[in-house]
Chains A and B, each alone.
Chain A
Amino acid sequence: MDLLLILPLAIPLGTAVLTLLLRSVPGVQRLTSVLGAVALLGASGTLLWRVATDGIRAAQMGGWPAPFGITLVADPLSAGLLGMTAFVAVAVAVYALAGMDEARQRFGFHPLFHLLLMGVNGAFITGDMFNLYVWFEVLLIASFVLLVLGNERRQLDGAVKYVGINLVSSIIFLAAVGLLYGHTGTLNMADASGRIAELRGSGVEATLATLFIMAFGIKAALFPLFFWLPAAYHTPPAPVAAVFAGLLTKVGIYSLIRVFSLLFPDPTGYTRTVLLVIAAGTMVVGVMGAMVQRNVHRLLAFLVISAMGYILMGLGFFTTLGLVGAVFYILQDVPVKTTLFLIGGMMERDTGTARLGEMGGLYQYRPVLAAAFMVPAFSLAGFPPFPGFWGKLTLVQAGLEAEQFTIVAVALIVGLFTLLVVAQIWSRAFWRPATEDDVQASGSTSQRWALNGPIVALAVVLLAIGLYAQPLYGLAEQAAANLVDTQAYVDAVLGPSAGA
């Protein structure tokens, strides 16, 4: 039994239970919530470090040997995402102390937040198909309640769409798992990757691949299955929207990468074309949607969609370099999106409006916020030296190498439009001179520390990743190598002899 692999699940569960029990003592409850997130960062960080130095780790739950029991596996991709999740979890936990209103904190924000983290971690770390479905449901039910927490009319409205489409996606996934089990006789991903070879090129394989694309495509908000995301993500308060934007779509795209690298590593080229077309559609629709939005939160929601396209593009090439780009992009996109949504919350809080046209003067009165906004925003647009630049550079290189010139052109043009969108936010909300009631003084000093501290910390780390990209890039290279040649993953799960 490898304790290190269980901690990313046990710590959020324990914290959720504790914060639930401590709900009548708000001060202690909040302290527990933050400490739980810090402990999670410690555990996930250690796991990431061990995986990066020693290679893939696997643990069989209950001592049942794979493929009969449930396996937890941490390869560099999983471990990297666990680390990033824990990192943004700490930031959001601190931000929520002041950014979340009293009523919502009292009515269960902290337990739900940690349950959501447990679901996300579980989805990243599991090596079993059905278990992945269960973790999806854990994070879904937590996200449902977080989304409607507060009972505002627009929250209920967004939640109806979010809940409906996500339940459909879960059931499609369940049907796909059932089909996979019926044809391979196993639910262990590593085991199935060996057995699915018999189905190669058959209609069953195509059906399975399509079902998985549908199920994970809805969760990752890929074109044309993205409508629920901009309908829901702007309705909850900033901390909730920030974890959603940072983590939930990443779980979908992670599952897609995992399933395609293990089960459908193909390619006859057909799936590749499908994935690239979807990627192009996702990028274009996301940025075009963002251009016409006037509400800052809805604008950011569309930018979440656009970024998914880049990650899918890297998967669509299915070359080592393409996957390096995809993994690097997904890893840096977690803190980028979280920071942007937290800053979006601050912009609304400080100007009293979410409409970009009515904002102004933030650069003059909130210089720290303005400086922190530069990092994730221009990272998203792909400016050096921010981390998004390295991700896009690698993806474009991979595209040129794979001779997919159309998608590279689309990616570059979308990058240009993203810059335009970001510059619009900058020129309206930050640079435009303030009218007298534009920027309100809000909150005590300690509140402002709790709000600005996490944002600045996230921005500083992002800048550090951009300036010194090698550690993260090295991790992405390790992860991509393991995704292209899955033998190491299979060996870690089933034992060295079984893979041969």
Chain B
Amino acid sequence: MEALLAIVSGILFACSFYLMMRRNLLRFVIGLIILGNAANLLIFTMGRLTRDHPPVIPYGAELPIEPYANPLPQALILTAIVISFGLLVFALVLVFRNYLTTNTLDADTLDAAEPDEPLDVHTETRRLPA
């Protein structure tokens, strides 16, 4: 089971990297979503899998009965999902807002902050301070 999930997680990582290298910003955001899920699945698998044994403490006992599923990765993933959900919503709104001002989702046209201006070396002759 661990081996299977490890492979699935690897495939998800590969898909997300492929998507994030596309020029379309929306595909980039979808890549981010898949990347987050891949990492969460990785954490889940790293916590070792135990099926059918929820970590519930029986009435009157102080410890759950072995074997039981590791609850910590689930707590970590829950936190990570909530955080990445918020961040992804922000990223989506940002891409949409940028689309409204530029009318494009092409990453190659993102140059409002870094306009293509000729470098200093070509335009000014006096370079040295004096």
Residues on A facing B (Cβ under 8 Å):
130, 133-134, 137, 140-141, 144-145, 148, 151, 153-161, 163-164, 167-168, 170-171, 174-175, 177-179, 181-183, 230-232, 234-235, 291-294, 298, 357, 420, 423-424, 426-427
Docked complex Cα distance between A145 and B97 (Å): 13
B120 lies within 8 A of chain A by Cβ: yes
Q: How far is the CB of B46 from chain A (nearest CB, A)?
A: 3
Within 8 A of A (CB), among B33-69: 35-36, 38-40, 42-43, 45-48
Select one of B46, B91, B120 contacting A181, CB under 8 A. B46
User: Contact at B43–A174, with CB atoms within 8 Å?
Assistant: yes
Asked if B35 contacts A171 (CB within 8 A), the reply is yes
- Assembled-state Cα–Cα distance A153/B40 (Å): 34
Given the known A-B contacts A153-B101, A182-B46, are A159 and B130 also in contact in the complex, defined by CB atoms under 8 Å?
Answer: no
Q: Are B120 and A292 in contact (CB under 8 A)?
A: yes
The reply to whether B95 and A160 form a contact with Cβ atoms under 8 Å apart is yes
Of the residues A156, A174, A357, contact of B39 by C-beta under 8 Å:
A174
Chain B interface secondary structure, helix, strand, loop or mixed? Answer: helix
CB distance B119 to A292 under 8 Å?
A: yes
Which of B25, B28, B39, B113 interacts with A175 by CB under 8 Å? B39
Partner of B110, one of A161, A174, A183: A161
Q: Is the CB of A171 within 8 A of B110?
A: no
- Apart from A174-B40, A235-B113, A292-B121, 13 more pairs, CB < 8 Å: A134-B79, A134-B83, A156-B94, A163-B91, A164-B32, A167-B32, A168-B35, A171-B36, A174-B80, A232-B113, A234-B113, A426-B129, A427-B129
Can you spell out 6 A-B residue pairs with CB atoms less than 8 angstroms apart? A140-B87, A141-B87, A157-B111, A174-B43, A175-B38, A182-B45
A151 to B114, Cβ gap below 8 A?
no
Contacts of A130 in B (CB 8 A): 76, 79
Which of A156, A158, A294 has its CB near the most chain B CB atoms (within 10 A)?
A: A156
How distant is A182 from chain B, measured CB to nearest CB, in Å? 3
Inter-subunit contact A154/B91 (CB<8 Å) = no
When C-beta atoms are compared, the residue in chain B nearest to A235 turns out to be: B113
Q: Are B97 and A151 in contact (CB under 8 A)?
A: yes
Whole-angstrom distance between the alpha carbons of A291 and B120 in the complex?
A: 8
List residues of chain B with CB within 8 A of the CB of A298: 114
CA distance A159 to B119 in the complex (A): 24
CB-CB nearest 4 A-B residue pairs: A182-B46, A178-B43, A427-B129, A157-B112
Is the beta-carbon distance between B129 and A424 smaller than 8 angstroms? yes
Q: Does B108 contact A (CB under 8 A)?
A: no
Given contacts A156-B101, A160-B110, A174-B43, contact A168 B117 (CB under 8 A): no
Instruction: Report A-chain residues with C-beta under 8 Å of the C-beta of B38.
Output: 175
B120: chain A residues within 8 A (beta carbon): 291-294, 357
Q: A134-B83, A292-B120 are in contact. Are A148 and B94 (CB under 8 A)?
A: yes
* Chain A residue with Cβ nearest B109: A157
Q: How far is the CA of A134 from the CA of B84 in the complex (A)?
A: 10
A231 to B110, CA, bound (A): 10
Q: What is the distance, in angstroms, from A50's C-beta to the closest C-beta of chain B?
A: 31
Partner of B32, one of A137, A168, A423: A168
C-alpha spacing A427/B46, complex, angstroms? 58
Chain B nearest Cβ from A258, distance in angstroms: 20
> Which B residues are in CB contact (< 8 Å) with A158?
113
Given A153-B101, A157-B111, A293-B120: A178 touches B46 (CB 8 Å cut-off): yes
B13 CB → nearest A CB, Å: 8
Q: Let me know if B24 is at the binding interface, CB within 8 A.
A: no
Given contacts A168-B20, A168-B35, A171-B39, contact A163 B90 (CB under 8 A): yes
A contact residues around B130 at 8 Å (CB): 427
* Interface pair B28/A164, CB less than 8 Å apart: yes
Are A154 and B28 closer than 8 Å at their CB atoms? no
A167 touches B91 (CB 8 A): yes
Given contact pairs A144-B90, A167-B91, A160 touches B25 in the complex (Cβ within 8 A): yes
Complex alpha-carbon distance, A140 and B102, angstroms: 25
Verify A157–B39 contact, CB threshold 8 A: no
How far apart are A174's CB and chain B's nearest CB, in angstroms? 5
Q: Shortest distance in angstroms between A179's beta carbon and chain B's nearest beta carbon? A: 6
Q: Provide the residues of chain A in CB contact with B28, threshold 8 Å.
A: 164
Q: Known contacts A144-B90, A157-B111, A357-B124; decide if A175 and B42 are in contact (CB<8 Å).
A: yes
Residue in B closest to A68 when the chains form the complex, CB atoms = B72
B98 at the interface (CB under 8 A from A): yes
